[in-house]
Amino acid sequence: MFTLQEVVQSIDHTLLNPAATEKDYRLLCGQAVKRAFKAVCVLPCYVPFCVQQLQNSPVLVATVVGFPLGANRAKIKVWEAQQAFADGAAEIDVVINIGALKDGHFNVVAEELQQLVQVARAFSERKIVKVIIETGLLTEPEKRKAGELAVEAGADFVKTSTGFNGGGATVEDVRLLAAVCGDQARVKASGGIRTWEQAEKLLLAGARRLGTSSGEKIVREYLEAQGSSV
């Protein structure tokens, strides 16, 4: 259904383990270059290191903001975003204020996201903002509303999950968010994606990016099935 190139170019090769070291990130970046993944998604303090590792490649560097709870004050998230872009990140994956959403304080969520998108655009129109709504903690109406707020704020992607707070990417959630986004934003599926079969199903459902720490495993699975060298 999908070619290897199509799948690898959808993958944000992710390492957000708090115990990860420079050695781990050097390996991550090397794998991303070898496999031609779209991006690496790394902890904020390792953005400069990964930018340096990838300076001669087309692989982008993404990092997280307000991660993994989304409960930082808006001005802290704004500062995190500014620092991430100043350090060379091309993309940020920001967790919404989940509690504010569930309380119905939609203006709080909207204003925060608008500020973050403005930060990105101030750096460059090419900077990307992905909004993590944490679908595993939301009802269906809340998922829909979160997606709508992200789209209205001008975000580039709505992302399903952090992978840290229960739940993960599902075909049903991707379809829902793809319908909400229409042609105004794209969907990133993230959380628990470990196989080629999962990757294909999520892409078929409408995802355009896949956040996974199993990118290398997914590629190897495909190549072994094809009888190709890994």
Q: What is the pLDDT of residue 228?
A: 87
Q: What is the pLDDT of residue 167?
A: 83
Q: Are 15 and 40 in contact (CB under 8 A)?
A: yes
Q: CA-CA distance, 158 to 166, in Å (whole number)?
A: 18
The active-site residue, picked from 38, 159, 173, 201, is 159
Question: Known catalytic residue: 38?
Answer: no
Q: CA-CA distance, 42 to 10, in Å (whole number)?
A: 16
Q: CA-CA distance, 83 to 48, in Å (whole number)?
A: 10
The active-site residue, picked from 12, 38, 93, 127, is 93
Question: Known catalytic residue: 127?
Answer: no
Q: What is the pLDDT of residue 229?
A: 81
Q: Are 127 and 85 in contact (CB under 8 A)?
A: yes
Point out the residues of the chain with pLDDT beneath 70.
none
- Map out the domains of the chain as residue ranges: 4-226
Q: Does 3.20.20.70 match the CATH number of domain 4-226?
A: yes
The DSSP-derived string for 128-191 is EEEEE--GGGS-HHHHHHHHHHHHHHT-SEEE---SSSS----HHHHHHHHHHHTTT-EEEEES
CB atoms within 10 A of CB 152: 14
Question: Known catalytic residue: 188?
Answer: yes
The active-site residue, picked from 127, 130, 143, 188, is 188
Q: What is the pLDDT of residue 230?
A: 79
